[in-house]
Chains A and B, each alone.
Chain A
Amino acid sequence: MTTTPLAARGPRAWWRVPQRQVPVLATLALLLVMYGIGVSQYRAFSNIQVVFNIFIDNGFLLVVAVGMTFVILTGGIDLSVGSVVAMTAMVSASLLGDGVHPALVLLIALLIGPTLGFAMGCVIHFFDIQPFIVTLAGMFFARGMCTWISSTSIPITDGFWTSAAQERIRIGENFVTVSVLVALAVVAVAAYTLAYTRLGRNVYAIGGNQQSALLMGLPVGRTKIAVYTISGLCSAIGGILLSFYTLSGAPLIAVGMELDTIAAVVIGGTLLTGGSGYVFGTLLGVLVLGVIQTLITFDGSLSSWWTKIVIGGLLFAFILLQRLVGIRKK
């Protein structure tokens, strides 16, 4: 009984990637391949502004997807995000139209999402109801509120909003918008939160095994409510970015966005069952969706529905990949 046979396990070879990072690396490889295809097919694709435009066009999607990552990491789902995005944009447009000060509008708009998220989180936790059905109810509620505010689109003419929308931040010969900076800041904060705070680690713990997390004395209820609140906050930020982007609030905007978001998170390598995934993966997932759109735009002959077809195929491929990685683990 001198040495332990249980610990017999050599040092990890440098080329062996930790299993939990395989899906993210697969997404990264996919992204590079698709970008390579674009560059080799179209001369203008290599322009760095193409990449920036992907960020500009998908900034709001990225923010919302970050919030969704938190929820999915706990093993939950948030179907309300698209409607909350639309509601935030509608409320902003409507209040600005009434002449309310933009700073106050910003504050109110940023409060609506988290409040609804907090309420849904409480229902999910205290009444032990599936997140799917609770957030489905939230989705209908928020969408209904949009049409109640106005059945038609409300344009935004406020000075702060238009300048935020049109401000071009120069980087060399190219530019990005305010939205891109906001989105990247959200990604950075979220990545830090998940990796370096107890809240973040508890999110992973709950996704791993809620019962164990409870027995280990972790604050399961508080964490679950927190992730839906965070998702609500991200949707609110996403809604404001969307209103920067479109300079209006429309009751039927961002319909089905929750599904794009979920697709981005899953393609980014986060397990739908929770407990495994990274915000960085979600960033890559959103970029993959953006590159597909750009490729189809560059082609010009393909209908934009091809985007959906390709996303559908990719989702299948990635779910299968996750399954295979999971099986190999056992």
Chain B
Amino acid sequence: MSQRHPVLTMTAISKIFPGVRALNGVDFRLFPGEVHALMGENGAGKSTLIKVLTGVYSTDAGTITLDGQQVSFAGPMQATAAGVSTVYQEVNLLPNLSVAENIFIGREPRRLGSVNWREMRRRAKELLARIDLHIDVTELLGSYSLAVQQMVAIARAVDVNARVLILDEPTSSLDADEVAQLMRIMRQLRDDGIAIVFVTHFLDQVYGIADRITVLRNGRLVGEYPTAELPQIALVEKMIGKELDALERLDSETDRDRAAIAAGEPFVAADGLGRTGSVAPFSLTIHAGEVVGLAGLLGSGRTEVARLFFGADRADQGRLAVDGAPATIRNPVAAIDRGVAFCSENRRTEGLVGELSVRENIILAMQAARGWLRPVPRRKQDELVERYIKALSIRPANPDMPVRNLSGGNQQKVLLARWLITEPRLLILDEPTRGIDIGAKTEIQRLVAQLSDGGMAVLFISAELEEVLRLSHKVVVMRDRRLVAQLDNDDTLDADRVMRAIASGAEQEGLEKV
């Protein structure tokens, strides 16, 4: 491969957003006829790199050459015209038009100025037959599954003469058969000499198809490796990193008396709980006063587990017991009634109401629990809000400030305060420290430790292993939507062991080779 010339070279690419260095001197090479996996955790810079390549963003430094020519695209349309096409997870096609038209619109075959429908159908059929897709091309695109739509998008991209095809998380919402078919198409296109950039977080798929892997972390290039020379454990290590943590150790503040905790009745116990297409059946108990850390790569099913406990998704398999008694949690209201609180990952879109003040946001869940007919008296509101602003050191300490104007860390604390006010028995925290500064991070970690000492059960989800290890009594490892390991956090547990579980957890059960 080395004697051939790369079709695409990106050299020393940097991209700076206000306050963030999203890409820092990243190099990327792509050869014709290869599938090149672009790997990295959330925020590593994968999507920024792709957006820079396709002209959605401009570069702040660095050069891009395509076929030896230096290029700089003003937008995805220009990139497509030059032979760089992107197929996104959410297909950017037109569901209201026929399959044939979706492939050819904008460049329809014409006769005497009229669209030649018969010719268009014939060519569409031919084109799809080449990737072994035999469907009625006169049907509306929207009547087909997402997988088929994606393949149609690929067919269009290839027919527009793509030499570089970028597949951005194409398999996230496909089932196993559909993934297999997509993989087959990718191999076929690769053999035809097309260079494919494959962005995904499914390790099995990467090892099933990719020729080479480029790993990014925190906006920097970690390295470029032939897949065969990079064991899975090494890949995970490179993605997650083992940088020295600037944070102080909190061990002293956490009372890790696991024996005492485990002796009590579990607060919740899941037995074979699962949801088709979301997360495979798993069993897990959480005791009062216990912090259970949920580790795994992005998209491994961490959030899905949390959503089942909170009733945001309904389980279709297994049983759930609360306080030893069987319980069904149909919806979040039922969960809140049973003392479960959920701080979601997207605090802006799913949690806080930006226009409302700190006070109003904090009172929201409590008010909802009481019912709207019994308003919380203003004096009680003030008292509670003031107490939590002080306890969580929310800054600025102004209850009337719109939440939108607070920093990320303080927004997170407002969200926490809202749930704490309802005095939950199980607190689910989904990435509570993502994107906030180190000071706020430490405060939130200390608070979690205090809450569990006070008898609250906590399910703590985080991409940062150090943080999970520091806080948890038990670490649960997810991989490819499956619970693969439950590790007691004793002295022998370290980041290495967790990482090994993340990388190889499914191996005992046999990798689903595609």
Contacts and interface: CB of A to CB of B under 8 A. Distances in A.
Interface residues of A, number: 33
A212 B134 contact: no
B134 A7 contact: yes
Contacts of A18: 139-140
Interface in B65-113: 76-77, 80-81, 92-97, 101, 105-106, 108, 110, 113
B471 interface: no
Interface residues of B, number: 37
Interface in A173-217: 192, 195-198, 201-202, 204-205, 207-209, 211-217
Contact of B96 (A4, A216, A276): A276
A217 B160 CA distance: 11
B191 to A, nearest CB: 15
Contact of B177 (A5, A196, A211): A5
Interface string A1-19: 1001111010010000011
Given A198-B108, A204-B96, A204-B97, A4 B136 contact: no
B148 interface: yes
A213 B95 CA distance: 11
Given A6-B145, A201-B105, A215-B76, A209 B95 contact: yes
A211 B92 contact: yes
Most buried by A among B101, B105, B140: B105
A19 B140 contact: yes
A43 interface: no
A199 to B, nearest CB: 10
Contacts of B113: 197
A8 B366 CA distance: 51
A201 B77 contact: no
A97 B149 CA distance: 61
B180 interface: yes
A218 interface: yes
Contacts of B110: 198
A216 B140 contact: no
A251 interface: no
Contacts of B178: 6
Contacts, number: 91
Contacts of A4: 132-134, 181
Contact of A12 (B101, B136, B145): B136
B230 interface: no
B408 interface: no
Given A196-B114, A215-B77, A6 B147 contact: yes
Nearest to B102: A216
Contact of B143 (A7, A19, A192, A209): A19
Nearest to A20: B140
Interface string B106-126: 101010011100000000000
B142 interface: yes
A275 interface: yes
Contacts of B81: 217
B136 A208 contact: no
A170 interface: no
A209 to B, nearest CB: 6
Given A6-B133, A212-B93, A329 B142 contact: yes
Given A6-B133, A211-B92, A1 B76 contact: no
Interface centre among A4, A12, A275, by most chain B C-beta atoms within 10 angstroms, is A4
A214 B115 CA distance: 20
Contacts of B356: none
Contacts of B147: 6
Contact of A1 (B93, B134, B180): B180
Given A9-B135, A9-B136, A216 B95 contact: no
B115 A196 contact: yes
A217 B80 contact: yes
Question: Which has the most chain A C-beta neighbours within 10 Å: B94, B97, B132, B142?
Answer: B94
Given A6-B178, A211-B92, A1 B133 contact: no
A7 B133 contact: yes
Nearest to B113: A197
A304 B510 CA distance: 76
Contacts of B136: 9, 12
Contacts of B97: 201, 204-205, 208, 275
Contact of B115 (A201, A212, A217): A201
A201 B108 contact: yes
Contacts of A209: 92-96
A212 B88 CA distance: 11
A218 B92 contact: no
B76 to A, nearest CB: 6
A216 B181 contact: no
Contacts of A218: 105-106
Contacts of A276: 96
Nearest to B156: A216
Contacts of B80: 217
A216 B105 contact: yes
Contacts of B132: 4
B184 interface: yes
A216 B133 contact: no
Contacts of B106: 198, 202, 216-218
A145 B45 CA distance: 57
A31 B145 CA distance: 36
Nearest to A213: B94
A237 B143 CA distance: 39
Interface in A258-295: 275-276
A195 B92 CA distance: 23
A208 B96 contact: yes
B295 to A, nearest CB: 34
Contacts of A12: 136
Contacts of B95: 208-209
**B81, B96, B132, B147 — which one has the most chain A CB atoms within 10 A of its CB?**
B96
Q: Which residue, of A6, A9, A18, A217, has the highest number of chain B Cβ atoms within 10 A? A: A6
Contacts of B105: 201-202, 205, 216, 218
B467 to A, nearest CB: 37
Given A4-B181, A329-B143, A216 B92 contact: yes
A201 to B, nearest CB: 6
B184 A212 contact: no
Contacts of A7: 133-135, 148
Contacts of B134: 4, 7
Contacts of B101: 201
Contacts of B92: 209, 211-212, 215-216
A12 to B, nearest CB: 7
Nearest to A196: B114
Chain A to chain B: the 7 pairs with minimum beta-carbon distance, closest first: A208-B94, A275-B96, A208-B96, A196-B114, A212-B92, A7-B134, A217-B77
21 contacts: A1-B181, A4-B134, A4-B181, A6-B135, A7-B133, A9-B136, A18-B139, A18-B140, A20-B96, A20-B140, A195-B115, A198-B106, A201-B97, A201-B105, A202-B106, A204-B94, A207-B96, A214-B77, A216-B106, A216-B156, A218-B105
Interface of B: 76-77, 80-81, 92-97, 101, 105-106, 108, 110, 113-115, 132-136, 139-140, 142-143, 145, 147-148, 151, 156, 177-178, 180-181, 184
Given A20-B140, A197-B115, 19 more contacts: A4-B132, A4-B134, A5-B177, A6-B145, A6-B147, A6-B148, A7-B135, A18-B139, A19-B143, A192-B114, A195-B115, A196-B115, A201-B97, A205-B105, A207-B96, A209-B95, A216-B105, A216-B156, A329-B143
